Amino acid sequence: MSGLIVRGARLLGGETGDIRIVDGRIDAVGSVDPAAGDHMIDADGLVALPGLVDLHTHLREPGGEASETVLTGTRAAAAGGFTAVFAMANTSPVADTAGVVEQVEALGRQHGYATVRPIGAVTVGLEGRQLAELGAMAASRAQVRVFSDDGHCVADPLIMRRALEYVATIGGVIAQHAQEPRLTEGAQMNEGPLSGELGLAGWPAVAEESIIARDVLLAEHTRSRLHVCHVSTAGSVDVVRWAKKRGIAVTAEVTPHHLLLTDETARDYDARFKVNPPLRRAEDVEALRAAVADGTIDIVATDHAPHPDERKECAWAEAAFGMVGLESALSIVQHTLVDTGMLDWAGVARVLSTTPAAIGGLAGYDAPLAVGAPAHLTLVDPEASRRWSTDELRGRSRNTPYTGITLPGRVIATVHGGVPTVLDGALVDADTVATTAGGR
Amino acid sequence: MKHLLTTRDLDREAAVRILDVAEEMAATADREVKKLPALRGKTVVNLFFEDSTRTRLSFESAAKRLSADVITFSAKGSSVSKGESLKDTAQTLVAMGADAIVVRHPASGAAHRLAHAGWIDASIVNAGDGTHEHPTQALLDAFTLRRRIHGADARGRALDGTRVVIVGDILHSRVARSNVWLLATLGAEVHLVAPRTLQPAGIDEWPVTVHALLDDALATEPHAVMMLRIQRERMVDAYFPSEREYGRMWGLTAERFAALPADTMVMHPGPMNRGLEIASVAADSTRSTVLEQVTNGVSIRMAVLYLLVAGVEEERA
C-alpha cells in the first residue's frame, strides 16, 4: 500500500529520521525505505512535531459566521500546524445542548482540516444560573469532555462547586474563565499606571487571582479537576503553583499573546490589542514564560478570537475583546520560549499537543510520532523568519496583533490523520482535504 | 502642531505660545468688531458624540470669531445612533471639506484614534474623550491662573511656583489629567486630593503630591483650589458612602473657604453641584474664577484653532 514519507526530519529526541505514514497511521519511524508509489515530503532542516492541539479556539459557528466558520477556522488551524481544536461554547445558539455540539463536531469532520472537539457550556446560555445538560453533551456523538462558559466566569461559588462535582461523574473538566465580574465592571485594560493615564477602566490582577484561588480550593474540596483558561498574571501563577504543590488536580493554560505583549500596547488606543484577560505588565510576561518552562502552566492555548474589522476599527471602549492566534501561535512559542532557551522542541510538543489532548480527553495524541499512532504531525522550519502581516492569516478575520513584528518559524506541512492539510507551506485546497479525509 | 489631543505632548514653549496667542485673541474681544478673518474659507466641524452645550458653544463661538465656517454635528438622533461608526462619520465629514474636527466622545482615546488611525487627514482637537483628557479646559485654566497672577504682564510667562490643589473625582476626570500634565509643564506645584477610591492607578508616578484628605492639602496655602464636579452616581458604585460624607470630607465648605488665604482663587470647570463639592459662598465670591474660565475658554479655543488650522498652512508655505 502506498504511503507518505517524511524524509529527514529532526525528530523530538534531536536525531534525524524519516516517518512513513500509511492509512492514516504512522507505519515506521527512523530510516525508512520508500515503497513504490510513496509520496515524499523533503523535511531536511525541519522539526517534526506531533499535530498541535488547541484547547481554546473560538470558531464562531453557529451564529458568528461573519467572523469565522468551522471551515475557515480549521483552515487557520491547519496553517498554524494544528490538527485538533477545542471549539468554545459561546456561539449563537450557545453550545449548551447535544444538538449544537453535534452539529459543530460534524462540520469539523466534514471539512477534514482538523478534529473539532466542541466545548460545552457549563450553564444554560452561559448565564451562570442553571447547569447545562453536561451529561447529554458528554454522551452525544461529540463526546464533550471540556465544559466552559468562557467569555464569562462561572462566578457564583455554588454553581461552580456543583459544576465541579457534577462533571467528575462524567470524567470531564471545567475550564474556568477566571474573572470576578464585580471587580471588572466596564474594564478595558490591565489596571495599572497606564490605565490611570489613558483613562481606561482597569481590569485588576486580583479579579483573576481571587477566582483562581477560590476555584482551586473548591477543586480540592470536591476532589474534582479544574482547568484554568488564559492565566495572565504572576499572582495567578503563584496560586496555581501553590495548588499543584498541594496536590490539587488543576491544570492551566497561557495564550501566546500573554507570553509576548504587554499593556504598553494600549498606548495608541489601537483596539487590535484589546483582549480579555488584558495584556499585562512585563513582569507578568516573564512570570508566565517561566511558569511554562517549569510546568506550573501546563499548556499554551490560542484563545483564537476572530472579529470583523468594524469591531476593531472604533474607539477602544466600543471595540470587541480578542485577537486571532491560530496561525501565529507556534511562531510566538518559538520566539518567546524556544529561542530564549526556556523550552526545547520536545517541550513544545508537550505544551502544544500531548498535554492539551490529555486535558481535553482527546485520544491519539498520547504517543507522539510513535509507530502505530494516528498520523497527526506538523513540520516546522525553525530557521524561517517572517515579517508578520494579515497576509499570513487564513481565517476569515484579520485582528492579529503581530503586524509588523518579525517572527521566527514557519509551518511547512501539517498532516491530520494521514491527510495533508498543508504542503510546501500552503493550505491544501478544501475539496482535496474533504475528499481525502472522507475516504478514510 | 497638527492636532491637540493631550496636554502631555505640549512642551513649555508650545504651551506658553498657546496662552500668548490666546491673549491676542482676548484683546480682540474688546474691539467693536470682534471678528478676525484668520480662518476665512476654512471649515471647522464640531463632532459631538456626547452632550455638552457649554463646550460646544465655546468652540462654535471661537470658530465663528475666526470667520471659519462651522458645522456642528451632534450624534444624538443622527446616523450615529443608527450604527454608523466613528470612522465612517469622520470620513463623511472630511469628504464635506472639514479642515479641523473638534471631537467630544464618551470613549477615552476616540480623538487619538481619529488623528492616528489613518482614516482621515484633518486636524483633530480633543474636546474631551471619556475619562482621558480635555486639553482645552486645562489650557483655559492655566490661562485664567496666569492672568489672575500676572495681569497685563502675563505674556511669555509660565506658572512657576504656583501652587494648585485639584480636588475630587480624579479617577474619572479628564479635566484633572489634562491639568496635571499642563500645570507641571508650566512649572506649577500640583496637589491632588481624592479619597483612595477615586485615585487612579499609578497616581504616585504623576508629577504631583497626592493627599487623601482635603484639609492636608489646604494647609499648603495654595494659590488656587480647583474643585471637580462629583457625579452622584458614583455613590452607587461605592466610591463614597453619601453626599453628606463627601461634602464634609472633600467639599469646599463655607468653613474651609473662610479659612483659606485671602487671595486663594477658587476654580471649577462647571457645571457645579452647589452644596456638594462647593459651597455657594465660595462659588459666588470674587475669588471664584468660574465665569472668567468660561470667557477665557473662547480665547483659548480661538488660539488652538488658529494655531492648528492657520499654523499648518504657515508651516507648509
Q: Which residues of A touch B (CB under 8 A)?
A: 185, 188, 191-202, 268-270, 310, 313-318
Element (H, E) at A377: strand A377-387
Per-residue pLDDT, A440: 57
| pLDDT per position as a tens digit, A20-71 | 999 999 999 999 888 888 899 999 999 999 999 999 999 999 999 999 999 9
Per-residue pLDDT, A213: 98
B193: amino acid identity, one letter: V
pLDDT confidence of B34, banded at 50, 70, 90?
confident
Q: Which residue of B has its CA nearest to A318?
A: B107
- Give me the helix-helix angle, B53-65 and B290-305, nearest 10°: 50
User: Measured between CB atoms, which of B86, B171, B202 is closest to A315?
Assistant: B86
Inter-chain residue contact A198 with B108, CB threshold 8 Å: yes
User: In CATH, which superfamily holds the domain spanning A4-47+376-393+401-438?
Assistant: Urease, subunit C, domain 1 (2.30.40.10)
Structural contact between residues B117 and A207, judged by C-beta atoms closer than 8 angstroms: no
Contacts of A318 in chain B (CB under 8 A): 86, 107
Residue with cell 505674556: B155
Find which of B84, B89, B112, B205 to mutate to test the A interface (most A CBs within 10 Å of its CB): B112
Q: Structural domain boundaries of chain A?
A: 4-47+376-393+401-438, 52-360
Inter-chain residue contact B201 with A316, CB threshold 8 Å: no
Of B245, B225, B307, B287, give the one whose Cα is nearest residue B19: B307
The whole-angstrom separation of Cα B299 and Cα B143 is 9
B174 is in an annotated binding site: yes
User: Catalytic residue among A294, A303, A391, A429, which?
Assistant: A303
| B31 vs A425, more confident | A425
Domains and CATH numbers, chain B: 12-133+294-316 (3.40.50.1370), 135-291 (3.40.50.1370)
Per-residue pLDDT, A427: 98
Q: Which residue of B has its CA nearest to A198?
A: B132
CA angle B15, B119, A73 (to 5 degrees): 130
Q: Which residues of chain A have pLDDT under 50?
A: none
B273: amino acid identity, one letter: N
Residue with cell 483562581: A212
Per-residue pLDDT, B81: 53
Q: Which residue of A has its CA nearest to B6?
A: A198
Per-residue pLDDT, B174: 96
Per-residue pLDDT, B78: 55
Handedness of CA B191, B13, A270, B230 (dihedral sign): positive
Per-residue pLDDT, B31: 85
Binding-site sequence positions of A for Zn(2+): 56, 58, 150, 177, 230, 303
Give the pLDDT mean for B65-80: 81
Element (H, E) at B113: helix B110-116
Q: Does residue A96 have an active-site annotation? A: no
Find which of A197, A265, A314 to mutate to test the B interface (most B CBs within 10 Å of its CB): A197
Inter-chain residue contact A310 with B129, CB threshold 8 Å: no
| B30 vs B243, more confident | B243
Q: State the smallest CA–CA distance between residue A56 and chain B in angstroms.
A: 30
Q: State the smallest CA–CA distance between residue A280 and chain B in angstroms.
A: 14
| pLDDT per position as a tens digit, B152-199 | 899 999 999 999 999 999 999 999 999 999 999 999 999 999 999 999
Of A250, A242, A236, give the one whose Cα is nearest residue A288: A236
Per-residue pLDDT, A59: 98
Per-residue pLDDT, B29: 81
Inter-chain residue contact B200 with A314, CB threshold 8 Å: no
B134 is in an annotated binding site: yes
B244 is in an annotated binding site: no
The whole-angstrom separation of Cα B74 and Cα B76 is 6
Per-residue pLDDT, B86: 84
User: In CATH, which superfamily holds the domain spanning A52-360?
Assistant: Metal-dependent hydrolases (3.20.20.140)
The whole-angstrom separation of Cα A292 and Cα A237 is 10
